[in-house]
């Protein structure tokens, strides 16, 4: 059994009361899960303070408490460890407890506002095709070689990350691709992990409810690159205005990719169609089944990362052309009456603009584009009017509806979205609170060759209203409705 002092290796300790040589069973940061001989780490959260639950953890049999502020009474037989940052300590002890699993595989973190899931998933696909045992930690799912688990977060808590990485070690996984969200970095979920590389996609408006300003959001992302070791690569999009900022203080090998700017890896879009993209990458032509110019960036990042991780140019290009789409990202069907329905996870202004522009580039003038979109509740409110404006400006007709309202009133969210619509575009808009009804109306309005875009929820298979989740799958719903309506 592992001893408390062993898992405290590399943790900055302020004081210890009690015996550090006690054997520990498990680590918990939620008092409700504490069992006999577990270590409880008290973390200050956004809703409450883990220090308030130290007593509960003691009552449930904790052998040790790790905290920033010592409790006023100590219980005999329990060891108390004081540290300056419990969230950081949690990440380090999680890594120690699972035998530093991130050092036994090549771990690549992907960060940025949009494109993380796409790049991580396709790198997983590519390395699997290349014959390696591969792991994935993403918004959509977690995969350990070929075993899948549902994902709860884009970047899970540090304990969960290390647990999955340890399972990957046992399964002989050589490469793992993980999404690194700004919440994840800020809450120290990725602290202490040994990265072989980091990829920066782009930085646009999102999460300004959580981060106090855009520059704070940017600096959190930058800190991920600041902390990469010099053995790693830092691969950034040089066309994004924040790309160079990510590289400012990194010790890692600096590598850039771009479509427009000067960069180490460059690509050119030769053709952009509904069936895919024809790209020129490093003077070689390659056809990929992904749609939209934003995906040219994703493909280029994947290509560069593959090379940096040791694949040959020929191998990388061959596997690129075999990649299939990612669930809920520009996932489309064509109905019997030739209506195209696209489901896409665009839930930020930039993503929505990109997807709408992609469709507008591809469609002909007499095909209508009907967009169904909403915004999540209990999340950044400032993006709502911006998304409303973009949706109305770039569509023939828009139906504003609910995304996941969570604890908020759905009608209020829709009103906030509508506030951004330009007066001249107002006549194009409708508001239907029920997402299913909104999708149905879009199907009823659509005629032969028209395009329906259902944005915001992508792969999600639920809708959360007033804190309650019910089954909801945009793709299945639109598919069934088009059949039911005989369209
Ligand atoms: C706002 C946010 O990020 N919250 C995350 C945070 O919870 P919190 O700080 O609010 O926790 P809290 O409720 O204040 O509790 C504080 C501490 O007391 C403990 N506690 C609490 C109650 C109790 O009885 N006993 C007890 O010990 C809790 O376990 C916690 O350690 O830490 C938790 C554990 O890691 C996360 O599960 C939780 O994610 C919530 C569910 C969430 O919705 N997060 C979203 C916003 C998120 O993280 N999203 C990003 C993606 C964003 C993107 O880029 O698109 C992601 O990576 O998924
Ligand atoms: N490189 C890109 N640049 C801009 N927009 C993109 C890019 N890649 C994907 N998108 C758009 O963003 C949406 C979300 O893509 P993806 O799921 O890959 O991003 P993500 O960064 O993982 O998002 P999340 O923060 O929710 O985890 C896509 O459905 C598409 O509309
Ligand atoms: N990772 C993002 C997902 C948003 C998806 C959208 N459907 C919503 O529910 O707001 C977040 O937690 O902000
Ligand atoms: Mg994601």
Domain 2-97 maps to which CATH number in 3.40.50.150, 3.40.50.800, 3.40.630.40, 3.40.1390.10? Answer: 3.40.1390.10
Quick check: CB of 376 below 6 Å from ligand 3?
Answer: yes
Quick check: CB of 404 below 6 Å from ligand 3?
Answer: yes
Closest CA to 30 of 52, 63, 2, 4: 52
Closest CA to 328 of 156, 139, 199: 139
Ramachandran area for residue 321 (φ above 0: left; ψ -120 to 50: alpha; else beta):
alpha
Smallest CA separation from ligand 1 atom 46, residue: 183
Distance 340 CA to ligand 3 centre (A): 25
Q: Which atom of ligand 1 is nearest to the CA of 156?
A: 57
Smallest CA separation from ligand 2 atom 3, residue: 294
The tens digit of pLDDT for each residue in 233-261 reads 999 999 999 999 999 999 999 999 999 99
CA distance 251 to 204: 25
Quick check: CB of 40 below 6 Å from ligand 2?
Answer: no
The tens digit of pLDDT for each residue in 264-276 reads 999 999 999 888 9
Ramachandran area for residue 276 (φ above 0: left; ψ -120 to 50: alpha; else beta):
left
Superfamily of domain 101-320: Mur-like, catalytic domain (3.40.1190.10)
pLDDT of the residue at 274: 85
pLDDT of the residue at 327: 93
Q: Which residue has the higher pLDDT, 36 or 207?
A: 36
Smallest CA separation from ligand 3 atom 3, residue: 347
Mean pLDDT of 4-27: 97
Quick check: CB of 58 below 6 Å from ligand 2?
Answer: no
Average pLDDT across the chain, whole number: 96
Q: Identify the band that residue 371 occupies on the pLDDT scale cut at 50, 70 and 90.
A: very high
CATH for 331-486 is: 3.90.190.20
Helix (H) or strand (E) holding 214: helix 214-226
Tokens of 308: 């940096």
Smallest CA separation from ligand 3 atom 12, residue: 379
Q: Which atom of ligand 1 is nearest to the CA of 157?
A: 35
Quick check: CB of 378 below 6 Å from ligand 1?
Answer: no
Quick check: CB of 298 below 6 Å from ligand 2?
Answer: yes
Q: Identify the band that residue 208 occupies on the pLDDT scale cut at 50, 70 and 90.
A: confident
Quick check: CB of 116 below 6 Å from ligand 3?
Answer: no
Quick check: CB of 155 below 6 Å from ligand 3?
Answer: no
Mean pLDDT of 440-459: 97
Give me the sign of the Cα torsion angle 57, 60, 65, 66. Answer: negative
211 — phi, psi (to 5°)? Answer: -90, 145
pLDDT of the residue at 211: 85
Ligand with minimal distance to 291 CA: 2
Binding region: 31, 112-118, 154-155, 181, 187, 189, 379, 403-406, 456, 460
The tens digit of pLDDT for each residue in 78-103 reads 999 999 999 999 999 999 999 999 99
Delimit the domains of the chain by residue range.
Answer: 2-97, 101-320, 331-486
Distance 45 CA to ligand 1 centre (A): 7
Distance 440 CA to ligand 4 centre (A): 27
Binding region for ATP: 112-118
Quick check: CB of 157 below 6 Å from ligand 1?
Answer: yes
pLDDT of the residue at 325: 83
Q: Which atom of ligand 2 is nearest to the CA of 113?
A: 21
Smallest CA separation from ligand 2 atom 9, residue: 115
Angle at 292 between CA 325 and CA 131, to 5 degrees: 35
Q: Identify the band that residue 111 occupies on the pLDDT scale cut at 50, 70 and 90.
A: very high
Mean pLDDT of 427-446: 98
Residue 256 Cα distances to 106, 123, 192, 209, 426, angstroms: 20, 18, 25, 30, 42
Mean pLDDT of 422-450: 97
Distance 265 CA to ligand 3 centre (A): 31
Reported for 203-206, long-range contacts at CB under 8 A and 24+ positions apart, including other chains, are 203/112, 203/113, 203/240, 203/241, 203/242, 204/113, 204/114, 204/348, 204/349, 204/350, 205/113, 205/348, 205/349, 205/350, 205/380, 205/382, 205/383, 205/386, 206/113, 206/348, 206/380, 206/383
197 — phi, psi (to 5°)? Answer: -170, 160
CA distance 39 to 29: 8
CA distance 282 to 300: 10
Q: Identify the band that residue 364 occupies on the pLDDT scale cut at 50, 70 and 90.
A: confident
Distance 121 CA to ligand 4 centre (A): 9
Distance 193 CA to ligand 1 centre (A): 20
In the DSSP assignment, the letter for residue 266 is E
Distance 65 CA to ligand 2 centre (A): 39
Closest CA to 455 of 475, 427, 482: 475
Mean pLDDT of 373-392: 97
Query: 150: how many CB neighbours lie within 10 A of its CB?
Result: 8
Mean pLDDT of 450-455: 97
pLDDT of the residue at 207: 82
Distance 366 CA to ligand 2 centre (A): 29
Q: Which atom of ligand 3 is nearest to the CA of 406?
A: 9
Ligand with minimal distance to 116 CA: 2
Q: Is the pLDDT of residue 365 over 80?
A: no
Query: 364: how many CB neighbours lie within 10 A of its CB?
Result: 6
Distance 402 CA to ligand 2 centre (A): 20
89 — phi, psi (to 5°)? Answer: -60, -40
């Amino acid at each position: 059994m592992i001893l408390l002092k062993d898992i405290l290796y590399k943790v900055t300790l302020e004081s210890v009361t009690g015996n550090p040589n006690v054997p520990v069973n498990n680590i918990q940061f939620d008092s409700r899960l504490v069992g006999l001989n577990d270590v409880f780490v008290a973390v200050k959260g956004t809703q409450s303070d883990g220090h308030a639950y130290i007593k509960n953890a003691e009552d449930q049999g904790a052998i040790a408490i790790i905290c920033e502020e010592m409790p006023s009474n100590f219980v005999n037989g329990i060891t108390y460890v004081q540290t300056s940052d419990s969230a950081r300590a949690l990440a380090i002890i999680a890594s120690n407890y699972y035998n530093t699993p991130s050092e036994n595989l090549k771990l690549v973190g992907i960060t940025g506002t949009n494109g993380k899931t796409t790049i991580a998933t396709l790198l997983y696909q590519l390395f699997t095709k290349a014959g390696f045992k591969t792991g994935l930690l993403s918004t959509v799912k977690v995969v350990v070689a070929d075993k899948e688990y549902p994902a709860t977060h884009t970047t899970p808590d540090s304990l969960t990350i290390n647990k999955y990485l340890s399972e990957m070690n046992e399964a002989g996984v050589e490469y793992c691709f993980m999404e690194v969200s700004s919440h994840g970095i800020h809450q120290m979920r990725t602290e202490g992990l040994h990265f072989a590389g980091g990829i920066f996609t782009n930085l646009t408006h999102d999460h300004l409810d959580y981060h106090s300003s855009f520059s704070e959001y940017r600096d959190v992302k930058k800190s991920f690159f600041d902390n990469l070791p010099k053995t790693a690569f830092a691969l950034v999009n040089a066309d994004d205005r924040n790309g160079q900022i990510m590289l400012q203080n990194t010790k890692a090998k600096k590598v850039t990719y771009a479509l427009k700017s000067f960069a180490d890896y460059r690509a050119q879009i030769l053709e952009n169609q509904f069936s895919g993209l024809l790209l020129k990458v490093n003077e070689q032509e390659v056809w990929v089944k992904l749609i939209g110019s934003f995906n040219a960036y994703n493909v280029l990042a994947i290509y560069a990362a593959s090379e940096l991780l040791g694949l040959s140019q020929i191998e990388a290009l061959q596997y690129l052309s075999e990649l299939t789409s990612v669930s809920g990202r520009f996932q489309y069907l064509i109905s019997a009456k030739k209506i195209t329905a696209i489901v896409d996870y665009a839930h930020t202004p930039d993503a929505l603009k990109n997807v709408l522009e992609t469709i507008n580039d591809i469609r002909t003038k007499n095909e209508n584009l009907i967009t169904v979109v909403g915004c999540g509740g209990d999340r950044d409110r400032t993006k709502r009017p911006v998304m409303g404006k973009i949706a109305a400006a770039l569509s023939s007709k828009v139906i504003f509806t609910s995304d996941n309202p969570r604890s908020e009133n759905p009608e209020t969210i829709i009103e906030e979205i509508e506030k951004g619509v330009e007066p001249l575009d107002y006549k194009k808009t409708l508001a239907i609170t029920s997402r299913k009804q909104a999708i149905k109306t879009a199907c009823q309005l659509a005629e032969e060759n028209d395009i329906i875009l259902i944005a915001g929820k992508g792969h999600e298979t639920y809708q959360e209203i007033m804190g309650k989740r019910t089954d909801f799958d945009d793709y299945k719903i639109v598919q069934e409705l088009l059949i039911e309506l005989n369209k």
